[in-house]
């Protein structure tokens, strides 16, 4: 018999749904089995991020059967990171387990992570990192370049090859949800939030097809860097300063050669190359500043970063309306 839902559960599980139809039933059964080994006081929150398959319908069936399950249906696809933050803002547990529903990350990791938190009361988060990055050659190389590029430009280092799966304390999630960025990046917020954490190397499965295209990965790269650091602006400033300094020195050198030795600079090639170089740097600089300005433009409008279409939850006979 299913337990009555607890208004203040000891454990919350948060997961997102996107094209998860083939995995959701197994994910739910394995997850409930793991949660039941730790406590009978738990809730499961599933956030549907605009899935176009029947993930939502299957989740509704589960929620209608199990009062511990809540389904949050977003009005459209807002992105994985925003969907996760919605679930974290909605949960009420003393500990919060965040995991993807595609079974690439094993639900049984909850037990291992829980033991780690129990053994060290100073920890506020235990998270998974890949033992070995999966995928083809391009995916592995691009992943390595991604983290190296990010960590060379951000002020707070972001762990390489980290996964979604993590177990967090209530105080950590409470502070995490205080960040109100509209253009949010989950890994950036985790790094900015701080607190004591522990990484555990885990095995991650690999799907044949990823939903992250090259364009999407590049967008995440730019968003991660510009959300966590102002270094690109400083790089532009230093580059401009160096180019200006070299240009002034070159001008004085040309004038010196012309006045004292009668040697003039001939040829259009060097002139055109210089124009192209400076033009390219100028366009790149304006574009970088434009990215930061677009973020300011979005933030000052204070739009909600998601819209919730419906919250599906089975009501018990004694629930108040």
Identify whether 2 is part of a domain: no
Same domain membership, residue 224 and residue 246? no
Instruction: Supply the pLDDT for residue 213.
Output: 64
Would residue 79 count as lying in a domain?
yes
Do 128 and 248 share a structural domain?
A: no
Q: Is residue 103 part of a domain?
A: yes
Q: How far is CA 314 from CA 34, 69, 151, 190, in A?
A: 22, 8, 45, 32
The reply to whether 190 and 127 lie within a common domain is yes
Over 50: is that where the pLDDT of 290 sits?
yes
188 touches 157 (CB < 8 A) = no
Say if 148 falls within a structural domain: yes
Question: Based on the domain organization, do 122 and 176 belong to the same domain?
Answer: yes
In this prediction, residue 320 has a pLDDT band, given cuts at 50, 70 and 90, of very low
Determine what percent of the chain is predicted with pLDDT higher than 90: 26
* Per-residue confidence (pLDDT) for residue 244, from 0 to 100: 72
Domain match, 243 and 207 both: no
Q: Is residue 39 part of a domain?
A: yes
Query: Looking at per-residue confidence, does 96 or 217 come out higher?
Result: 96
Predicted pLDDT of residue 80: 87
Same domain, residue pair 148 and 105 = yes
21-35, 110-124, 161-175, 231-245: range with lowest mean pLDDT: 231-245
Proportion of the chain above pLDDT 70, given as a percent = 76
The CA distance from 44 to 203, in Å, is 23
Q: Domain of 250?
A: 231-300
Same domain, 84 and 196: yes
> Within this chain, do residues 189 and 242 fall inside the same structural domain, yes or no?
no
Instruction: Say if 52 falls within a structural domain.
Output: yes
Angle at 182 between CA 293 and CA 19, to 5 degrees: 125
Tell me whether residue 247 is in a domain: yes
Same domain, 159 and 278: no
Residue of higher predicted confidence among 71 and 271 = 71
- Give tens-digit pLDDT for 38-78: 989 999 999 998 888 888 999 999 999 899 999 999 988 88
- pLDDT over 70 at 102, yes or no: yes
Residue-level pLDDT at 1? 41
Cβ-in-10-Å burial (0-12, 13-18, 19+) of 295 comes to middle
74-78, 288-292, 302-306: which has the minimum mean pLDDT? 302-306
User: Which CATH number goes with the domain that contains 129?
Assistant: 3.90.550.10
Using an 8 Å Cβ cutoff, are 45 and 87 in contact?
A: yes
Give the model's confidence band at 210: pLDDT under 50 very low, under 70 low, under 90 confident, else very high: low
Instruction: Say if residue 262's pLDDT is above 70.
Output: no
Position 157 confidence tier, pLDDT thresholds 50, 70, 90: confident
Pair 43, 166 in one domain: yes
Predicted local distance difference test score (pLDDT) of residue 30: 94
Mean pLDDT of the chain: 79
Asked whether residue 6 is domain-assigned, the answer is no
Integer Cα distance of 138 and 112 in angstroms: 32
Average pLDDT over residues 212-224: 70
Q: When comparing pLDDT for 206 and 113, which is higher? A: 113
Q: What is the number of structural domains in the chain?
A: 2
Whether residues 221 and 235 share a domain: the answer is: no
Q: What is the pLDDT of residues 111-139, one digit of tens each?
A: 999 999 988 888 999 999 887 766 665 66
The confidence band for 209, taking pLDDT boundaries of 50, 70 and 90, is low
Flag whether pLDDT at 269 surpasses 60.
no
Task: Answer yes or no: do 200 and 212 share one domain.
Answer: yes
For 36, 105, 124, 140, 303, the CA distances from 175, given in Å and listed in that order, are: 27, 25, 11, 33, 21
Instruction: Give the pLDDT band (50/70/90) at residue 317.
Output: very low
Phi, psi of 183 (to 5 degrees): -95, 70
């Amino acid at each position: 018999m299913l337990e009555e839902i607890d208004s203040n559960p000891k454990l919350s599980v948060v997961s997102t749904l996107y094209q998860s139809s083939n995995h959701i039933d197994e994910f739910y059964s394995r997850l409930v089995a793991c949660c039941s080994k730790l406590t009978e006081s738990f809730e499961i929150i599933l956030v549907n991020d605009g899935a176009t398959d029947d993930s939502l319908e299957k989740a509704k069936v589960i929620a209608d059967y199990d009062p511990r399950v809540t389904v949050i249906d977003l009005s459209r696809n807002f992105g994985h990171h925003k969907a996760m933050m919605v679930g974290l803002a909605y949960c009420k547990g003393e500990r919060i387990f965040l995991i993807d529903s595609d079974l690439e990350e094993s639900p049984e990791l909850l037990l291992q992570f829980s033991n780690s938190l129990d053994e060290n009361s100073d920890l506020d988060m235990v998270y998974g990192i890949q033992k070995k990055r999966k995928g083809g050659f391009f995916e592995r190389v691009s992943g390595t370049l991604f983290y190296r590029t990010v960590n060379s430009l951000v002020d707070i280092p972001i762990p390489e090859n980290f996964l979604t799966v993590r177990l967090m304390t209530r105080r950590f999630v409470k502070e995490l949800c205080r960040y109100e960025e509209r253009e949010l990046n989950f890994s950036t917020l985790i790094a900015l939030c701080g607190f004591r954490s522990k990484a555990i190397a885990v095995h991650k499965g690999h799907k044949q097809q990823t939903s992250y295209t090259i364009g999407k990965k590049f967008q995440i790269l730019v968003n991660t860097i510009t959300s966590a650091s102002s270094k690109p602006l400083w790089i532009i400033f230093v580059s401009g300063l160096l180019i200006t300094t070299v240009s002034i020195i070159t001008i004085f050198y040309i004038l010196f050669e012309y006045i004292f030795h009668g040697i003039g600079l001939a040829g259009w090639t060097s002139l055109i190359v210089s124009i192209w170089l400076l033009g390219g740097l100028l366009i790149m600089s304006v574009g970088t500043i434009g990215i930061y300005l677009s973020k300011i433009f979005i933030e000052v409008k204070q739009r909600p970063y998601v819209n919730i279409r419906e919250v599906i939850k089975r009501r018990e006979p004694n629930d108040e309306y």
